[in-house]
Amino acid sequence: MDVLIAIDGPSGAGKGTVARTIAAHLHFKHVDTGAMYRAVAWRARQLGVDLADAAAVAEVAERAVFGLSAHIEIDGHDVTAAIRTTEMDAAAATVARHAEVRRVLVGRQRAIGQQGGVVMEGRDIGTVVFPEADVKVYLDASTEERARRRAMDPAHAAGQAGAMPDHVVQIAQALEARDLSDRTRTASPLTLAADAVYIDTTGMPIHAVVSQVMDLIRPRLLP
């Protein structure tokens, strides 16, 4: 099955849950490209590499051995939990601004996706990594809703059930700062591909989003 599904959008728009659920439905591989930027940032930090040094961080990315299944690994370290901290949110956004780092990771992502049977999520999958993807979806939601989801996400260090409203306000501010960085960087800024289907998931339960995306995919699976 050589079908490739691209899911892009800002943080907290539901990309992770939707991509994972659809990949499980279709028995496709799920690739979280944000986790690759996060893992490279983590490894660069660990090696004492200055995150502002694009060439040095790109070398870390070039040499990296990734594990991208249910657990995220880089160079033998399981970083599944370590890459989901507020500090790593900022560190990943910094390394994602470097064109050299992006060139290396985009190459890795194309190699992973070329066989198809993949649901790949990120910011530039439908625009840069796989402009010829079979289905392109751009998931969005209001900042308030995205912050609320992030606050409740147990995978994220900030996630805690029953999070206080002021906590959500802080998350919303951090999300907006990161969105601004992702949208205004010169190297592959977050934008909507001309042929992507835009879905505003504000107020939508996850199963409704999954079902809408599945409706787009189904015709592409026919022989």
Report if residue 122 touches ligand DC, rule: CB under 6 A. Answer: yes
Helix 54-63, helix 33-46: angle, nearest 10? 110
Task: Rule CB under 6 A: choose which of 40, 92, 101, 175 binds ligand DC.
Answer: 92
Rounded Cα distance, 164 and 162, in Å: 6
The conformation of residue 56, written as its DSSP 8-state character, comes to H
Report if residue 136 touches ligand DC, rule: CB under 6 A. Answer: no
Q: Which span (44-52, 89-97, 151-159, 202-210) binds ligand DC, by CB under 6 A? A: 89-97
Q: How far lies 155's CA from each of 34, 99, 121, 123, 220, in Å?
A: 14, 28, 17, 20, 32
Task: Rule CB under 6 A: choose which of 11, 21, 127, 201 binds ligand DC.
Answer: 11
Q: Binding string, 154-183, against ligand DC, x = CB under 6 A? A: ------------------------x---x-
Nearer to ligand DC, 31 or 222 (CB): 31
Task: Rule CB under 6 A: choose which of 4, 23, 37, 104 binds ligand DC.
Answer: 37
Residue with tokens 């961080």: 57
Please compute Rg for the chain using Cα positions: 17
Q: Which span (28-36, 44-52, 65-73, 152-160) binds ligand DC, by CB under 6 A? A: 28-36
Nearer to ligand DC, 120 or 210 (CB): 120
Report if residue 123 touches ligand DC, rule: CB under 6 A. Answer: yes
3-state secondary structure of 25: helix
Helix 99-113, helix 86-96: angle, nearest 10? 90
Nearer to ligand DC, 28 or 42 (CB): 42
Rounded Cα distance, 141 and 147, in Å: 10
Report if residue 113 touches ligand DC, rule: CB under 6 A. Answer: no
Largest CA distance in the chain: 51
Residue type, 213: V
- Beta carbons within 10 angstroms of residue 189's beta carbon: 14
Nearer to ligand DC, 5 or 35 (CB): 35
Q: Whole-number minimum distance, CB 221 to ligand DC, in Å? A: 24
Give residues in contact with ligand DC (CB under 6 A).
Answer: 11, 33-35, 37-38, 92-93, 96, 122-124, 178, 182
